[in-house]
Amino acid sequence: MKMESMILVSVWITAFSLFFFIPRKKFRLAQTALLFKQMLTWIIGLVVVELGWIEYPVREFASVIRSSFTFEYLAYPIICGLFNARYPENRSLLFKLFYYSSYCTVITVVELLIEINTNLVNYIHWSWYWTWITLFITFFMSRKFSKWFFSISVPKGEIT
């Protein structure tokens, strides 16, 4: 098995194992964040690939789409679900910024290592800081959406 294939399989295994770190009572929140992040990263990923800023030479579904299914539709959204489920709601703003930054930094470093050492992703007109910025923005958007989604109150008796 090629190194790229082994990495993709390990990403799938790691991503699904993250579900065990989501508290049971926050699972719906994680699902909502995951689905919202899937929508964002799928669209952004397609735009970035179609504009020629990034390419994925080794990918799943190569004859159908030029984006990476594993990273754009599985790994980042699952990590976002964990991010939202474990979000430190009652901590200081500084700690919350550290929380955002640590998730974005770890993901960016891993992607950069993958970009340098494998053929899974190639930056053409892209750089690590664009990855970090887009991750920060999409994590922020998913957090705001999830808070909004769960703040909607339905009057009793309207929906059963």
pLDDT digits (tens, 9 = 90+) for 50-109: 999 999 888 888 778 888 888 888 899 999 999 999 999 899 999 999 999 999 999 999
**84 and 18 Cβ atoms separated by less than 8 Å:** no
Q: Which residue has the higher pLDDT, 113 or 20?
A: 113
The per-residue pLDDT for 59 is 81
Distance, CA of 11 to CA of 137 (rounded, Å): 23
pTM of the model: 0.87
**Residue 1 pLDDT grade (very low, low, confident, very high; cuts 50, 70, 90):** low
| Domain residue spans of the chain | 3-12+28-150
In this predicted structure, what is the pLDDT of residue 160?
34
pLDDT at residue 159 tops 70: no
Query: What is the phi/psi pair of residue 57, to 5°?
Result: -60, -40
What is the SS3 assignment for the chain?
CCHHHHHHHHHHHHHHHHHHHCCHHHHHHHHHHHHHHHHHHHHHHHHHHHCCCEECCCCCCCCCCCCCHHHHHHHHHHHHHHHHHCCCCCCCHHHHHHHHHHHHHHHHHHHHHHHHHCCCCEECCCCHHHHHHHHHHHHHHHHHHHHHHHHCCCCCCCCC
The per-residue pLDDT for range 6-45, each reduced to its tens digit, is 888 888 888 788 878 888 889 999 999 999 999 999 899 8
CB 99 within 8 A of CB 109: no
Return the residue matching tokens 């059963």.
160
pLDDT confidence of 129, banded at 50, 70, 90?
very high
Which pLDDT score, from 0 to 100, does residue 123 have? 94
